[in-house]
Homo-oligomer: A and B are copies of this chain.
Amino acid sequence: MNMAPEVPAILVLGPPLVFKAYESDFSQKFNFLKPWEKPIPLHQFISTHSSNVKAIFCSAVSPVTSEIIESLPELRFVLASSTGVNHIDLRECKRRGIVVANAGSTFSEDVADMAVGLLIDVLRRISAGNRLVKSGVWRREGDYPLAHKLSGKQVGIVGLGSIGLDIATRLKAMGCIISYTSRTMKPHVTFPFYPTIHQLVANCKILIISCALTEETRHMIDREVMLVLGKDGIIVNIARGAIINEKELIECLVKGEIGGAGLDVFENEPNFPQELFPLDNVVLTPHHGAVTEEACRDLYDHVCENLHAFLENKSLECEVDM
C-alpha cells in the first residue's frame, strides 16, 4: 500500500524483531521508512527523507545518536521496542523536546521468568546436568557436587521497577527473603530497602540486576561488591551488561571469589566473555530475556497504540521520564 508523501514517516532502525514478525500488518497501518532495504549508507538514507520523518521506531541494538537526531528537524518521537533506552541519546531528545517511549511492562513477566530460570539453573546445576546427561554419562548420587537450595536464600534486587517487582513476587513464593536497592524507596513496597548497593550486598547472598543502564549504574557492580557477596554468592543479570564491570566479574568467577553467575546480557554484545565458557557454575543466554512469541504479539499491539496515539496527538502509554 503506497502512502501519500504527506503521511508522517516513521523511520525504523534495527529493525526490531517485532517489526520483522509483523511487517505486513504494520505496513498497512503506518508509513514506515526501511533503510536496510536500500543499498545506501544510513546517513544518506536519512538525509533523503529528513524533512518527512516525524518518529523513529528502534531496537535496543540500534543507537539513536545526537547525529541522527540533529539530521531530522521534524523528529518529535522516539519509540523503543525495548524496556531499556540506553541506546537513545536522551539528553539530546530532552533538549530538542522529543518525546521518548519504551516497551513499558510488556516484557516484565518474561524477563522476570528468565531471571528466576537462570538463578535456579545456576543453583541447581540444570544446564550442567543436562550437558552431563547428554554427553552419555550417568553419575550416581554423590559422584557430582551437591547443588544449593533456593528457599530461604537472601536475595537482593537492584532496581525495583516492573521487572524487579515481578522477580520479587516469584522468588518470595519460592521462600526467598527479598530486599532491594533503587534510586528511591518505593512506596507501598514492604521489602526492606537499602539506599546503596553496598548496604544491599552486605545483606544478601544472591544479587539480581534489573535496573536501567545510566551514567550512575555503569559498572555499579564491581570487584568490591562481588567480594562482599562472597564465594557462595550468585549474580544474575537480565538488565544491561555494562551495569557489571565484566572484566572484574570474569576475574572473580575464574578465581572462585564468587559462587556463580547467570547472565543474559553482556558488556560488548555480540561478544561473550569466552573465559566463562568452561565454568559449570556460569549459565549464559544470548540476550533472550524478552524473546517470547507471546511478548512479541503484545509488543505489536503496544507499538501500534503508541504510534497511533502520537500521530493523533493523544497521550502516550509509556513515556520515558527524562
Is A147 in contact with chain B by the CB < 8 A criterion?
Answer: yes
Q: Determine, out of A111-119, A197-205, A211-219, the stretch whose residues face the partner at the interface.
A: A111-119
A294: chain B residues at CB < 8 Å are 148-149, 152
- Are B133 and A20 interface neighbours, CB within 8 A? no
A170: chain B residues at CB < 8 Å are 170, 173-174
Q: Determine, out of A134-142, A178-186, A221-229, A248-256, the stretch whose residues face the partner at the interface.
A: A134-142
A127: chain B residues at CB < 8 Å are 121, 126-127, 130-131
Is A309 in contact with chain B by the CB < 8 A criterion?
Answer: no
Is A8 in contact with chain B by the CB < 8 A criterion?
Answer: no
A side interface size, CB within 8 A: 64
Contact of A283 among B130, B152, B272 (CB under 8 A): B130
1/0 contact string of A97-134 vs chain B (CB within 8 Å): 00000000000011001101110110111110111111
- Are A109 and B149 interface neighbours, CB within 8 A? yes
- Are B175 and A173 interface neighbours, CB within 8 A? no
Q: A109-B149, A109-B151 are in contact. Are A172 and B173 (CB under 8 A)?
A: yes
- Are B291 and A147 interface neighbours, CB within 8 A? yes
Chain B, residue nearest A150 (CB): B113
Give Cα distance in the complex from A173 to B171, angstroms: 9
Give Cα distance in the complex from A322 to B20, angstroms: 59
A302 → chain B, closest Cβ, in Å?
15
Contact of A116 among B16, B116, B131, B292 (CB under 8 A): B116
A141: chain B residues at CB < 8 Å are 16-17, 59, 61, 287, 291
Give Cα distance in the complex from A140 to B270, angstroms: 8
A287: chain B residues at CB < 8 Å are 141
17 residue pairs A–B, Cβ–Cβ below 8 Å: A16-B141, A21-B142, A109-B175, A113-B123, A113-B150, A113-B174, A116-B116, A121-B126, A125-B285, A127-B130, A133-B272, A141-B287, A141-B291, A144-B291, A146-B291, A148-B292, A170-B174
A-B contact sample (15 more), CB < 8 A, given A124-B288, A129-B284, A144-B286: A17-B141, A109-B149, A109-B150, A118-B126, A126-B127, A127-B130, A140-B270, A146-B293, A147-B292, A148-B294, A149-B292, A149-B294, A170-B170, A170-B174, A172-B173
